[in-house]
Amino acid sequence: MTATPFALPEAVVTAISNGTPVIQAYREHLGYSTEDIAVTSGLTVEEVELIESGHRFENGYRNRIARALGLAESIFDEISSIPNAA
């Protein structure tokens, strides 16, 4: 069985192409605030904001955000290979 290519929602693609970081684009697309994601992921608002702005943390942090957004943990790894998404 081959993996199906991941398709981003059009609103997320548009936001990314306009310069919005991918995690922020997904969060906003789903209607969540940074506070919502912080509470759900167990991270601080500051950590979520730093991750959204591109600061590198352990994959576990990004995985916690992915789970808080209801996405597969590997989502951001898949997206990072898409041009203009990193």
Give the range among 19-23, 29-33, 59-63 with minimum mean pLDDT.
59-63
> CB-based contacts of 40: which residues, under 8 Å, 6+ apart?
67, 68
**pLDDT value at 84 more than 70:** no
Identity of the residue numbered 55: H
What pLDDT does residue 86 have?
Answer: 40
This prediction has a pTM of 0.74
CB neighbours of residue 80 within 10 Å: 11
Please classify residue 22 by burial: count the beta carbons closer than 10 Å to its beta carbon, then call 0-12 exposed, 13-18 middle and 19+ buried.
buried
What domains appear along the chain, each with residue ranges and CATH number? 10-80 (1.10.260.40)
| Tokens matching residue 47 | 């950590």
